[in-house]
A = this chain, B = another copy of it.
Amino acid sequence: MNDNQTNAEQLILQAARKIFIEKGMEGARMQEIADEAGINKALLHYYFRSKDKLFQAVFLEAFQKFLPQIEMLLKSELPFIQKLELFIKNYISIMIENPYIPGFVLHELTQNPQRLAELLKNHVVVMPEFLTQLQNEINNGVIKPVDPRQIMINSLALCIFPFVARPIIQTVFFGNDAETYNAFLEQRKTSVYNFIKSAIFIEKP
């Protein structure tokens, strides 16, 4: 019960995170994770029983990094426009700090969709309420009459896509210069918000 125990476990998790996110579940090798952590391969199985268990630990950690922020905003009592602004700015900020997680989560969830059901059992049940609030704004003539789900999905798309497609976009539009692209992503915090606002709010005459 020394603190090397926790130390090794954290070392493994850290290494596993890096390799899994880089190579995916199928592409990652236990030996590579062990090397990255600077320990013996058998130790991986001592702390986490199998590759699958280790992967699940990493995946869950990554997934949950984003969920609380979404829930907090969906549950809050703010007016819609403020929720929208907060959501976009927070969400993009988290992604700038964890740029490889969105693609990782998206791919692994596509590869193994039944996992999603498990993950969502305890979360995001508040979504309907949020969609209702949006529908109310439409009924009040504040927002243009569009399917609220289209608006919701458009917002997600505009936030997430630049991270999921980063290698392509960075190459095609930014001469593969990471710094320029980072600045571009930073700008999107306000750019995306303005874009959506212009798209859905009805201009007062």
Contacts and interface: CB of A to CB of B under 8 A. Distances in A.
A116 B167 contact: yes
Contacts of A116: 167-168, 171
Interface in A146-182: 146-147, 149-150, 152-154, 156-158, 160-162, 164-169, 171-174
Contacts of A106: 103, 164-165, 168
Given A161-B157, A172-B120, A150 B110 contact: no
Interface stretch (A11-19, A22-30, A31-39, A47-55): A22-30
Q: How big is the A interface, by class?
A: 35 or more
Given A26-B27, A160-B165, A103 B113 contact: no
Nearest to A117: B171
A165 B160 CA distance: 10
Interface in A107-162: 107, 109-111, 113, 116-117, 120, 124, 127, 144, 146-147, 149-150, 152-154, 156-158, 160-162
